[in-house]
Structure 1
Amino acid sequence: MPGIPPPARALLWRQLRIHQVYGANTEVGKTVFTTLLSKAARKFWPREETVFLKPVSTGPADDADDRFAPEIESKTLFQYNLAVSPHLAAQVSKREASRNSGWLFVETAGGVHSPSPSGTTQADLYMPLRLPVVLVGDSKLGGISQTISAFESLKIRGYDVEMVLLFKEDQYQNHLYLTEYFEQKHGIPVKTVPEPPHRVADPKSDAQAMSQYYDTGSASPVLHKTLQHLEARHESRIARLESMSTTASQKIWYPFTQQKHLTPSKITVIDSAHGDHFQTLVPQPTNTNPATTTLPGTAALLQPSFDASASWWTQGLGHANPSLALAAAHAAGRYGHVMFAEAVHEPALALAETLLRGMRNPRLARAFFSDNGSTGTEVALKMALRAARVRYGWAGDGERAGVLGLQGSYHGDTIGAMDCSEPGVFNEKVEWYEGRGYWFAGPTVWRTSAEAWEVVLPGEMAGDGGQERFASLDDVFDVEAREARGEHQAYERFILTRLEKLAAEGRRFGALMIEPVVLGAGGMLLVDPLFQRTLVKAVRQNPHLFSGGGALAEPDATVDDQTWSGLPVIFDEVFTGLYRLGRFSAASFLGVDADISVHAKLLTGGLVPLSMTLASESIFRAFESDDKSDALLHGHSYTAHAVGCQVALESVREMQRMEAQGDWAWAAAAPEGANQELTAEHNKSKLTWSVWSPEFVRWLGQLSETSFMAGAWALGSVLAIKLTSVDGTEGYKGGAARAVQAALLQGSEGGDETRWNVHTRVLGNTLYLMTGQKTDQESVRGLESLLRETLTQASRDAQQA
């Protein structure tokens, strides 16, 4: 992919032991210790190469402490003659870390949080490299605090601190306390060496003293044991990584997986994650041809894998986001977990206020906390059913109410949430499943040609009028203009005919529950927003169809005019909400407000599980009573856990800041029309946008004109591609997307420094990819390039077959 740089990668080779030397502060002896380690490696491993790498060095080059060890290969990428923090140069070059045998010590500049040349702190800059750390402690006054603080900063960013080294100093004796602290509390060895000789005025004498110090110190048993420990930890890390897939296949029961066919080779081993990428173990090559097989030990063991399912729809602000990690640590340190019934803490209250305000839905007034999207939808269902029973007076007749929804909807895997979905592959073999409801067949939207978007009507609705092709996705989502043209009328007739038939049959319903705009687990179905808008309006405007034939109960007069009508409307925004589709709330595309809405996934940026169910005051009042048993008796031990609430608050506020600052302007500004002139006025009037380029989506539409693809769509961060099934199998059991998924996992061609792949999930014949909300334009274009190559080849293979 010309012009697309490879993503940052973790560095791990079998025969190259790489360690990063961090200092608890400046002037703690990082260079001295790194030189000692390098000289000791040369002494005790004389046949192997040792390199001392300084990505950035400050102060005069001829004044550096490593100048007294000329036999050590030392490389400095950026040298600054003034002893100040380096703010203005580029990141560390990974090419210097490409050696294949021996030792490589990478010394950082300043302390853990000293700024790098890019302005990023050292601790944040080097996170993607995932290098094990040797921490040089501070032996001076105040050094105990500095050392522990540095360790905690590294720990919270996912670094493995393998060893603590510091000078043995008689006045403060910091090493005594730090040895007990690290070895007993964290199992990290602490080693000390004598302080280097004080500098003298005579350069020759000074050089002789330091050279003698390095020669003596590097030969000491302390340094030998230090290196042996680092080597053992290196080998242990590799051995564990290489055994994990086999052990996992024997001990773990995986979700959504038929494990009869899951061999260890199909299990992805993830060593770490950063930004948009996993760092995954490279599968061992099966090619045994010496001419084409890399020699053992010389190939990189890890590669970047773009997380194209956004870690199953939760990752929004990048893996290992320091701000979210700090928020979690702060709440854990301040609260741990505290019970929430009849109590409140700041993270929960602030989150409730922020989410209610951000929704801009005048109906929503109350926030209920639960642990994940599935239980969040069950809470919503309990709320809606109670409100409907109180309004319509069902008590005592024993008949159960169902829900109205859409075919292809899915609201979670717990038993109650399953019952809100039509019978299908997810629930048909669950013994307690009892689908309770009626699910409308809905029209879906696809890019099926280079020129147009198509609204594909279900068979029972085909031929009932309405425009079916549109020049742009904006035209599809301009629901008010379409409604003014009367395009909703065919939908309205279709919906009312079925609602009247259900009422005549005596069917009882307690809620309308839909996923606004996109049905996720049902196959990434982009539903015509006009249909969903019409469905909500039809339910609200026809309460007589849900009263069971009796007199209509009057809404509570003490509640304002935002009270629900017909049925309580639940929007399940677990997948589609919080900027997934480019807006804070997916409901805003429909121009109608929910009475209850459910939020999870991106709520916490992918760090911890948490869900919130928001409800109107009208719904809330249905539970008011002097009898406690009438309360909403739902909760779990970790309700509104402070860690989750604090992380969610940070996540939501950060995405709101990104929107306000125009961080997605590069995507939102792209015109969809091939020859459309880009103007500021056009940008203001856009209804939809996507990180996926219009040109690429047009190309997918063109490919959809062949028998290989059925269609595609892109909105916000999501791209869905529906491939044509050769054997006619549709739905979740279809396998048309598997070959493309495997090709993306195979990844790009290239050597150790350029190889990367894409980790995806499929839903039957539909391959989907999604980015995080912080994914940059360059990364998306790289994905598009790899996708283009992969789909082109797959199309050729399909034609030949």
Structure 2
Amino acid sequence: MSLLFKHFRIHQIFGANTDVGKTILTTALVRATGPFQDADDEHIRRHCGAPQDKVHTDCLYRFHVPVSPHLAAQIAAGGEADKIVPDDTFLNSISSYVRRSASRVSGPAHMYLETAGGVHSPTLSGVTQLECYRPLFLPTILVGDSRLGGISATISAYESLLLRGYIIDAILLFRDQYYRNSEFLMPYFAERGIEVTAVDAPPPKAVDAAENLASTERYYESLNLLPVVQNLDMRHQQRLAELDSMPRRSIDTLWWPFVQHGLVKSEKDVTVIDSASSDFFSVYNAQNAGRSVSSLEAQFDGSASWWTQALGHAHPALTLAAARASGRYGHVMFPQATHAPALLLAERLLHDGPGKDWASRVFFSDDGSTAMEVALKMALRAFSVREQLEGTERKALGVLGIKGSYHGDTIGAMDACAEEGVFTCEWHNAKGYWFDPPTVSIQEGCAIVTLPPALAAVAAKDDYRMNTTNSMSWVYDLTGRLDSPLAQVYREYISHTLDGLEHSGGPRLAALVLEPLVMGSGGMIFVDPLFQRILVDVVRERDPAPSKLTGDWRGLPVIYDEVFVGLYRLGMQSTIPFLGAAPDISVHAKILTGGLVPLAVTLASDSIFRAFHSTEKAEALLHGHSYTAHPLGCEVANEALKLIEKEVRSEPWATAKARWDLDGTPSVMWSLWDPRFVRALSCLENVTEVMALGTVLSIKVNDVQAGYISQSAQTLLQSIRIHDHDTESFASGGVPQFSVHFRTLGNVAYFMTSLNTAPETIRTAEDKIWKALEIKCLAE
């Protein structure tokens, strides 16, 4: 919803406190360009010093009781909360007014959006102004406080603005001969690159109205804020020039991840993100720079910024948590030390989080890939200790997994994946064996379990699919399926394969590594959960008794890579209760910090920990990172988990779950995406299959060259990246019009919401996806 126009400069005016002179100084800024008698807009209209057809003033919401806006709104509504103007309606009114104003001007013009009270004064709904106005992301002028305590109030207001990402272009305040606040504030802010301008205070209000009008006019004539206006104009042009130059500079300078630069044909292919708020990027469109539409456009973050976003961008509680830890700790050493954010997070993860009832230790690292490196070290060491392996025997160990898995881009994590994957490098050396998995999907409105050729042969099927007329709820009912004929097929196939591997001469398997339920980067592969559960069971049953050396784990140490699927990405805190089998090691990242800062954890059972426990230093887990247990990450994670737990008990989640209870009984399989939409997509001719779980929607399109290098999904859905300026500024329900930023995995397009994405936003995204695919179908 951010707004930026080439010939129409807009600044928002915040006050360090109430009654600091915002309206008077706003009037002075307007003049520098060339019973409502006390209303702010009336004062500006009266004293702006310009023809009425050149200056327009409006007060969008006016209340007659001189109290805080939220109280005035409550009084006006008679105490009925549903009659109070909600924040989205309030912002939509402002945005629409700004857009209409921009469309009326043909040359350079200015607009000032004056707020009420101080930066933390509440809006009509009771939310502070700083948070309410943040989606607009307008450059800001701060009016400082010249009174006693004003230095503190001004700096506090400035830091509050800064913590929420606002651009502060100028600070204005009255000059006071007694307190002389400006003399301190000028050098203070000069060090921060912000110019402070102090002006004389207005004369006392005269009793006689005519004299008051005349004295006020003389006061305005004595002021000269033209240098301030020129500075604001310069900063506006600098911002436009910076945004305009970023695509070319980026092409010439950056090496992007997972991007073939040879396919970046022009500067138009570069997404310039000016800011982000909630579920939206604010992206710069240079083609709009000379038009009466905003150069900044709302774009839905359709991949949740590579699966990290949980609560939306720039969440104020997470930002303040990071600042809190930064101010208290910065970063501190962690080996044989502790601090409250790390300790509290570890306890939360073990007692109330994904480690509940099975894990005893938390190891901190930087991201999912490094956390998987830690997990592999733990598992291989535990296996080596139990088997009493030495030297070269330890070097030859491999892992058991599933084809299509991906655990990160570090070398060890890559070696734990099959050779045919594209995420490899020259040193990549796949070590182990990977099963070709049965998958789950919705095709032509039906729930289908698709068997790979090897399994289909065991099942004595003529084709490679096992169709079921049961619902998707049946597919994810593991308790009901554990004794099914297909479960026996899986069990026999896995056992027979493992028997053969023991005599094949390949690497000795030392760990089972799984991405539970969904293998993300491999192509959003929804694995039949029954297969994964049987795989864990068979591996453990082959070693009926725990070893005295290793304690509880049997067969092979089991690692769950829950970096993508964990912490409610799929609608559940962890896949462990769903699968009914706890791992020995699990890995978590991404959503862990709500997407704000990188942090990862590797959880381990006590038996895994004991494999490293001795009095010999060389037998310790000699692994670590300079920023291990970074206090900022830990503090943000604690705050994020608290907010997430509240979110998953919210009304939108309950409503979404109920929508997926298709047969009238509660379903463990559900999604924030509408089930009718999902089924309808699966019936389109250009769609092979669709799946949805939790926040995730996956669409596989028809393509004879299927796979990661395919461009088919990108091409088919390209239209949803384009902002539609021919529609109204806002869709139904107060949702701003937006385009959709999305990523593809070859012929698979996936979309992801935050945990708190508004249902109206999801419905709008569904409409855009549907129209793009349906139009292509009709064209073909």
- TM-score normalised per structure 2: 0.92
Residue 265 of structure 1: how far off its partner (Å): 1.6
Is 1:523–1:766's contact at 8 Å kept on the other side of the alignment? yes
CA distance, structure 1, for counterparts of residue 317 and residue 37 of structure 2:
32
- 1:335 is aligned to 2:341: no
**Cα 1:438/1:271, change in 2 over 3 Å:** same
Matched, 1:693 2:674: yes
Contact 1:368–1:614 (CA under 8 A) maintained in structure 2: yes
- Please list, as runs of the form range in 1=range in 2, the aligned pairs for 1:487-636 lying within 5 A after superposition: 487-506=486-505, 507-543=507-543, 554-556=547-549, 559=551, 563-636=552-625
Does the 8 Å contact 2:361/2:604 carry over to 1? yes
Shift of 1:663: 4.6
Aligned to 1:239: 241
Q: 1:392-791 counterparts in 2 under 5 A?
A: 392-398=387-393, 399-428=395-424, 430-450=425-445, 452-465=446-459, 468-506=467-505, 507-543=507-543, 554-556=547-549, 559=551, 563-673=552-662, 676-677=663-664, 682=665, 685-703=666-684, 706=685, 708-725=686-703, 728-748=704-724, 750-751=726-727, 753-754=729-730, 755-791=737-773
The 1-side partners of 2:447 and 2:404 are apart by 21
Aligned to 1:14: 6
Mapped contact 1:61–1:81 kept (Cα < 8 A): no
Kindly indicate whether the alpha-carbon contact (under 8 Å) linking 1:738 and 1:762 is maintained by their aligned counterparts in 2. Answer: yes
State whether residues 561 and 587 of structure 2, in contact with CA within 8 Å, keep that contact through their aligned partners in structure 1. yes
Q: Does the Cα contact within 8 Å between 2:297 and 2:723 map onto a contact in 1?
A: no
Q: State the match for 1:4 in structure 2.
A: none
* Corresponding residue to 1:119 among 92, 116, 126: 126
For residue 64 of structure 1, report the CA deviation from its aligned partner.
6.3
User: For residues 301 and 250 of structure 1, do their structure 2 counterparts lie closer, same or farther at Cα, with a shift above 3 Å needed?
Assistant: same
Q: Residue 31 of structure 1 contacts residue 107 of structure 1 at CA under 8 Å; is this kept in 2? A: yes
Residue type at the aligned position of 1:591: G
Matched residues in 2 for 1:195 and 1:723: separation? 67
Q: Which residue of structure 1 aligns with residue 319 of structure 2?
A: 325
Q: List aligned pairs for 1:246-261, cutoff 5 A.
A: 246-261=248-263
The 2-side partners of 1:78 and 1:120 are apart by: 16
Equivalent position of 1:136 in the other structure: 143
Tell me the amino acid that sits aligned with residue 126 of structure 2.
G
Cα distance, 1:67 vs. partner?
A: 5.7
How is 1:218-229 mapped onto 2 (pairs within 5 angstroms)? 220=224, 223-229=225-231
Give the Å deviation of 1:489.
0.5
CA contact (8 A) 1:605 1:651 kept: yes
1:20-73 C-alpha deviation (Å, 9 max, x unpaired): 0000000100011111111112x1xxxxxxxxxxxxx99953896436426442
Q: Which residue identity is paired with 1:741? A: L
Rounded Cα–Cα distance in structure 1 between residues aligned with 2:557 and 2:435: 17
Tell me the equivalent position of 2:76: none
Q: How far is 1:271 from its partner?
A: 0.4
Tell me, yes or no, if the aligned pair for 2:142 and 2:172 is still in contact at 8 Å. yes
Q: Deviations over 1:382-418 (max 9, x none)?
A: 0000000001111134351111000000000011110
Of the candidates 105, 108, 111, which is equivalent to residue 104 of structure 1? 111
- Same amino acid, percent of matched pairs: 44
What's the CA shift for 1:423? 1.2
Q: Equivalent of 1:384, from 379, 382, 387?
A: 379
d(CA) in 2 for partners of 1:248, 1:529: 43
Q: State the distance in 2 between where 1:471 and 1:138 align.
A: 68
1:215 is displaced (CA, Å) by 2.7
User: Aligned equivalents of 2:651 and 2:673: distance in 1?
Assistant: 17
The secondary structure found in structure 2 opposite 1:575 is coil
Distance 2:652 2:345 in 1: 23
- In 1, Cα distance between equivalents of 2:43 and 2:194: 27
Equivalent residue letter for 2:339: H
Which segment is superposed worse, 155-164 or 254-263? 254-263
Query: What is the rounded CA distance, in whole Å, between the counterparts of 1:267 and 1:317 in structure 2?
Result: 26
Distance 1:741 1:631 in 2: 51
Provide the C-alpha distance between the structure 1 equivalents of 2:278 and 2:197, rounded to a whole number of angstroms: 34
CA RMSD for the aligned pairs?
1.9
Runs of 4+ that moved beyond 6 A:
none
Aligned to 1:181: 188
The equivalent of 2:47 in structure 1 is 69
- Preserved contact between residue 59 and residue 82 of structure 1 (Cα < 8 Å): no
Q: Secondary structure at the match of 1:108?
A: strand
**CA distance in 2 between partners of 1:424 and 1:341 (Å):** 39
Q: Secondary structure at the match of 2:383?
A: helix
d(CA) in 2 for partners of 1:407 and 1:191? 65
The match for 1:145 is 152
| Structure 2 alignment gaps of length 5 or more | 74-83, 731-736
State the 1:752 CA deviation.
7.7
Are 2:237 and 1:230 aligned?
Answer: no
- AA aligned to 2:312 is G
Alpha carbons of 1:500 and 1:425: their partners in 2 closer, same or farther (altered >3 Å)? closer
| Alpha-carbon separation, structure 1, partners of 2:510 and 2:591 | 28
SS at structure 2 position matched to 1:254:
coil
Amino acid in the other structure paired with 2:710: G
Stretch of structure 1 that moved more, 633-642 or 256-265: 256-265
SS in 2 for 1:79: coil
What residue number does 1:35 align with?
27
Alpha-carbon distance between aligned partners in 1 of 2:327 and 2:652, rounded to the nearest angstrom: 32
User: CA 1:189/1:711 → structure 2, altered by over 3 Å: closer, same or farther?
Assistant: same
**Structure 1 residues 752 and 174: CA distance shift in structure 2, 3 A:** farther
CA distance in 2, matches of 1:271, 1:478: 45
Quote the Cα distance in structure 1 between the aligned partners of 2:24 and 2:548. 78
Q: What is the match of residue 160 of structure 1?
A: 167
Contact 2:23 2:40 in 1 (8 A): no
Change (3 A) 1:484 1:353: same
> How far apart are 1:521 and its partner, in Å?
0.3
Cα pair 1:58 1:83 within 8 Å, conserved: no
Q: Displacement of 1:711 after TM fit?
A: 0.2
Over 3 Å counting, the alpha-carbon distance change for 1:81 and 1:553 in structure 2 is closer
Distance in 1, Cα, partners of 2:398 & 2:651: 43
Report the secondary structure of 2:659's partner residue.
Answer: coil
Measure how far apart 1:426 and its partner are.
Answer: 2.7
| Change in CA separation of 1:62 and 1:254 when aligned onto 2, cut-off 3 Å | closer
Instruction: Determine the structure 1 residue equivalent to 2:733.
Output: none
**Counterpart residue identity of residue 712, structure 1:** V
Flag the 1:63–1:620 CA change in 2: closer, same or farther, 3 A: closer
Change (3 A) 1:228 1:60: closer
**Residues 516, 565 of structure 2: 8 Å contact kept:** yes
Q: Distance in 1 between matches of 2:528 and 2:231?
A: 61
Paired AA for residue 302 in structure 1: L
**What TM-score do you get using the length of structure 1 for normalisation?**
0.89
Give CA-to-partner distance per residue, 1:191-213, whole Å, 9 cap, x none.
01100001122222112111221
